[in-house]
Amino acid sequence: MCLQQFPLLGIVSIAHRNNIDSFQGFSEKLSDDGIRYLTVNNMRGVEYNDRNVEKAVLSEAQYLIFLQEYLLWWIDTKLYRKLQIQPLMSFFSKEANNLCLYSNMDEKCTSNHVFSPEGYAPHCELLKDLSHKSTKECLQCRIYEFCGGGCPEVLRDNSFCEARLKFYDFLKGIKDGSN
C-alpha cells in the first residue's frame, strides 16, 4: 500500500482479552510502517450469542487499567510524536470531548453517521432508543463532564463507575504532574 495516496489513513482496533498484551508491539509496527492514526476501542459489552466472544470482553476496570499502562508507555517511548492514539489523544485535548463513550452531550449518539456492512444509519449503529437521556445519578457525579455516563447501549459491569472515577483521578494526576 502506498501511504502517499492515503496520508490520513488510520486503523481502528478492538481491545479484548486475547490481544491486550500485543498493543505496544502493534503500535510500534504501525508507526514503523508510516501509519499515523490508531483508535483502540474496548470490545463493546453487548449481548453476544457466542460464549467465546463473551469471554473475550474486558470489564471497564480491565480496559481502563490497560489504557493507563498503554498511555504511560506511549508517553515514555515518545511514540505520541509519530502515532496519534485515540482515546488517549482526546483525554489531553483542550477541545471539547467528542468521543461518544466519554461525551456528556445528550445528542452524542446521533451526532455521527455510520456506514457499516449492515448499511447506513444516521446515528450510532448500537442505538436502539433515540430518546436516551443520562440518569440522575450520572448527572450528579463529580466526573460527569469527563465521563458522560458511557454508551447507553453497552452493558455496564459492576466496575464501571469506580473504574471511571479512578481513571479520571489518574489522568488528572498526569495533567497536574503528580503522577
* Cβ-based neighbours of 9, under 8 Å, separated by 6 or more: 3, 35, 36, 37
Q: How far apart are CA 179 and CA 174, in angstroms?
A: 5
Q: How far apart are CA 95 and CA 101, in angstroms?
A: 16
9 three-state secondary structure: coil
**Under a CB-based contact definition with an 8 Å cutoff, are residues 67 and 88 in contact?**
yes
Which helix (H) or strand (E) segment is 145 a member of?
A: helix 144-147
Q: How far apart are CA 60 and CA 81, in angstroms?
A: 28
Q: How far apart are CA 52 and CA 142, in angstroms?
A: 36
User: What integer is the mean pLDDT of 56-67?
Assistant: 91
Q: How far apart are CA 163 and CA 160, in angstroms?
A: 5
The distance from CA 27 to its chain's CA centroid, rounded to whole angstroms, is 16
pLDDT for 165 equals 94
Task: Tell me if the pTM is above 0.85.
Answer: no
Min mean pLDDT across 57-61, 125-129, 149-153 is at 125-129
Query: Mind listing the pLDDT tens digit for each residue in 161-176?
Result: 999 999 999 999 998 8
Q: How far apart are CA 30 and CA 84, in angstroms?
A: 11
Band the pLDDT of 9: cuts 50, 70, 90. confident
pLDDT for 118 equals 72
First-to-final CA distance of the chain: 40
Most confident of 2-6, 73-77, 135-139, 157-161: 73-77
* Cβ-based neighbours of 101, under 8 Å, separated by 6 or more: 41, 87, 148, 150, 151, 154
pLDDT for 71 equals 96
Band the pLDDT of 40: cuts 50, 70, 90. very high
Band the pLDDT of 137: cuts 50, 70, 90. confident
Can you read off the three cell numbers belonging to residue 149? 455516563
Residue 1 scores a pLDDT above 70: no
Band the pLDDT of 93: cuts 50, 70, 90. confident
Band the pLDDT of 11: cuts 50, 70, 90. confident
Q: How far apart are CA 176 and CA 85, in angstroms?
A: 21
Count of helix runs (H) and strand runs (E) in the chain: 7, 5
pLDDT, greater one: 101 or 41:
41
